Amino acid sequence: MYAYDAAIIGAGIAGSALAKSLADSGWNTILFESKKFPRHKVCGEFLSPEAKNMLDSLGVNEHIQSLRPSLIERSRLIFSHGDVLEAPLASHALGLSRYALDDALLTSAQLAGAHVQTGSVVTAVTPCNGGFIVETKQGKETVPYKVRTVIAAWGSNGRMPGTASYCTDSNSRKVKNPYVGVKSHVVGITMDAAVELYFFEGGYLGISPVEDGKFNVSALLRQKAFQDKPKSIQGWLDAACSRNPQLLDKLSNAVPITGTQVAVAPVHISRKPLVWDLYPQVGDAGLMIPPLCGDGMSMALRSALVCAALADRYLSGQITLDHWRHHYEQFINQQLKGPRQWGRLLQWMIDTPALPRMLVPCVRFTPGLMQRLVKATRLKDMPIDFR
């Protein structure tokens, strides 16, 4: 006898969306989260138009709007040599902190009937009689759960229970020069309805308005490019500002908000995809989307919704486990491969010193080029044939 139909490991965007979708379909669902929740995370906190559509299909749009997200209408790229590129978004985006968004999605999952178990570290997942035994550590107590299926949503720096964390590139070699991600909310700056990306040697920093007059300041920095080894999150941000005069001026009056600063390392943006091992993996757990795509949350949500639709059909006996795996891997290959490759190309271009200077005149003298580049990194609304 199974205690639950589905167990989801990780309560981020993908995990909570998946739990809500399965609970909405009537399945007895449990969601495990090892850490305190909600919490601040390193993220651009930019909800693209595509992400808004995913949230609407999940049925949480009204809840999201009640959080007073900022409206974002354009993107602006600002290079250390002084050039600026600007383009309107095809449709308005939203700026909303992960603290507020994650809490909204988790609450929605609970209201849908999903059981949420925070402070539970999953220590082992063992196949058993066509299902799984999920062992969790809750305080000093070990608690097992017998479930029909398991889905991983533990994020980019999560790990398979009983194994080391992922730390390889697309060729399964250790990355010698990974990135560090840092983030802080600030007040005290002036900005229009735009998301701004500042580029400089060794990385880039984004500024995006979020709710309640706050701004998200987040950076992706190559560790070796900052040899002085800043000893604090603010130290990393200050070091980034010193490499772009316009960024330094922009944040000169910024006041950090206590409790919002967070870092993550190492960040490997070229990690080899692994969307199915013993069970499916959604969001960044299965496929790391380069941050320059600006659409990572949309892709995480879409992977969760597709996986939920397939899980529903599997649990109801309409498809086999092999069919579920085939269709889910097909979705990743068909819909996420292109944006991921374009994102990696853009990341390489920005990391190559001479190319940003060449990119600016190309964009300025080729009408619509910047919009086409943005479109290439976005998720296409393509149907998946589940037959």
pLDDT at position 286, please?
Answer: 79
The answer to whether residue 165 scores a pLDDT higher than 60 is no
- Per-residue pLDDT tens for 47-60? 988 888 889 989 99
Question: pTM here?
Answer: 0.87
Higher-confidence residue of 357 and 18: namely 18
**Is residue 93 in some structural domain?**
yes
Would you say residue 353 has pLDDT above 80? no
Does residue 200 lie in a domain region?
no
Give me the DSSP letters along 69-108: PEEEEEEEEEETTS-EEEEEEEEEEEE--HHHHHHHHHHH
pLDDT of residue 91: 85
Strand 131-138 to 141-152 pairing? antiparallel
Establish if 229 belongs to a structural domain.
Answer: no
User: Which residues form the domain of 26?
Assistant: 4-170+268-376
Please check whether residue 201 lies inside any domain of the structure.
no
* Phi, then psi, of 252 in degrees rounded to 5: -65, -30
Task: Establish if 13 belongs to a structural domain.
Answer: yes
Q: Give the pLDDT of residue 48.
A: 87
Domain count of the fold of the chain? 1
Could you tell me what percent of the chain has a pLDDT over 70? 79
CATH number of domain containing 286: 3.50.50.60
- pLDDT of 293 higher than 80: no
Q: Which residue has the tokens 């009640």?
A: 66
Highest mean pLDDT among 75-79, 88-92, 317-321, 382-386 belongs to 317-321
The answer as to whether 253 is a domain residue is: no
pLDDT digits (tens, 9 = 90+) for 198-253: 999 889 999 999 999 999 999 999 888 887 778 899 999 999 999 999 999 999 99
Comparing 311 with 178, the larger pLDDT belongs to 311
